[in-house]
Structure 1
């Protein structure tokens, strides 16, 4: 009991011994990062304001680069209900395709990461399929699945599959050998080795692949909605191109950018909470 009281007294004395300047220096790096983060959020707003000014001053042609206020007015004229329908259709397709593609990628990637034979069997085919552009899949999926929702979701799943599969394989192959030897010394079963060592150690890499797959899912969604779609942000892009309305095209692009940022930010928050156990380096202050 006396030792505990003595320890508490030493901690209290040390905290009082610190000068206000030292406490201020501890806070400055975090405050500096916060200022840079606020500047990062303000940068797109400043960019849009500059575009608005250049268009109003006739430096940029309005028929090629519409003013942000014109884009906002176009989206307003479409109506909240109509815009919400397009956004809802695209979001549903993206998350359905992403869930399907990432689930398959996690299973197949884990099998390839754990088995050299499976990796040697599937890797050449996946390398070839990964090089096929998204639009090249469109006629094939139309022939196989028709023009309903199935080909759209399948195309998005293809886009999400490969980065997640690559990250799972790379994450498992990149686990420190010392950790594996530690598990072998403790005579862990293959299942325990996977759940206690391989999976936790590869989770940071897997989350990176999941975030990349989600970004590609949004990109493939635009190609997917070229398949006889009557609703969605990809349809708005196509409609704006065919009718010669750059304001509609840029409006759809801005909505895609906003939705992509929101989805990635949400996934990043999930990653931070799931991987809170990591002893990782955080950049602070003016450090490079």
Structure 2
């Protein structure tokens, strides 16, 4: 086995080992199925939902909410992070207000959001956008402010305009921090979606879990949790791929 294959296999050793222990504990009735169904039962429930096609509309609904909320909230956070990062005057006007809003737990606003938007899609997307906005804002702002001023001064000495210095020095220098903020925001996005979809949703993975709870279908409830975990892992892998794509010049991402 090559070194590359070993590196790819190692992260899956502990999850697979835990899965095996879980299956054996259920099989020998050490872990009652009324508390936690066996992995084989969850796999059977997944096969049933996939084969019937019932699962796909719920996956699409959840992914659609998450992506729309990420683009709206992430775009706003990125824009304010850029503006406040490059302009001290803008930071004086906006940063304190954004920091005050950041310290309000966004999930605590659910009763207010229901009064504003009702139980439709707007409230769920607003909640996700609010959750992802602040980590992207903070990391963008911090990344721009952390760029070495010597590089900017060197660019000015070579005759770079302010816009050219931004594109070739400031933004690339801030990109590692921005992408870290994106990865952090993706985690918050899925956590927020879980909560949002348990509030009078008509579709989505959260609705699937709540509907299964009513009929005591523990295997489907656990499957819903696993689906959230898999979606979170997939989005994190995509964010890591973006890091390796756009940070090839960075020493930490070179082979």
Q: TM-score, normalised by structure 2?
A: 0.91
Compute the displacement of 1:101 (Å). Answer: 1.1
Alignment partner, residue 172 of structure 2: 200
Output the CA distance in 2 between the equivalents of 1:64 and 1:129: 40
Of residues 3, 21, 24 in structure 2, which corresponds to 1:53?
24
1:141-156 to 2 correspondences below 5 Å? 141-156=113-128
Alignment partner, residue 105 of structure 2: 133
Output the CA distance in 2 between the equivalents of 1:127 and 1:245: 43
1:71-220 to 2 correspondences below 5 Å? 71-80=42-51, 81-220=53-192
Output the CA distance in 1 between the equivalents of 2:254 and 2:158: 33
Output the CA distance in 2 between the equivalents of 1:165 and 1:281: 23
RMSD (Å) for aligned C-alpha atoms: 2.1
Compute the displacement of 1:48 (Å). Answer: 1.1
Alignment partner, residue 225 of structure 2: 253
Alignment partner of 1:227 is 2:183? no
Compute the displacement of 1:251 (Å). Answer: 0.5
Compute the displacement of 1:87 (Å). Answer: 0.7
Compute the displacement of 1:147 (Å). Answer: 2.1
Compute the displacement of 1:33 (Å). Answer: 5.6
Alignment partner, residue 274 of structure 1: 246
Could you say what secondary structure the match of 2:137 adopts?
Answer: helix
Per-residue CA shift, 1:158-185, capped at 9, x if unaligned? 1111111011001001101211221232
Per-residue CA shift, 1:18-63, capped at 9, x if unaligned? xxxxxxxxxx9xx446413312124322211210101111111211
Q: TM-score, normalised by structure 1?
A: 0.81
Per-residue CA shift, 1:217-271, capped at 9, x if unaligned? 1111112212321111111232334443332221101111111111221222122
Could you say what secondary structure the match of 2:33 adopts?
Answer: coil
Alignment partner, residue 237 of structure 2: 265
Could you say what secondary structure the match of 2:54 adopts?
Answer: helix
> Which runs of 5 or more residues in structure 1 are unaligned?
1-27, 284-288
Alignment partner of 1:70 is 2:41? yes
Count of aligned residue pairs for this structure pair? 254
Output the CA distance in 1 between the equivalents of 2:44 and 2:190: 25
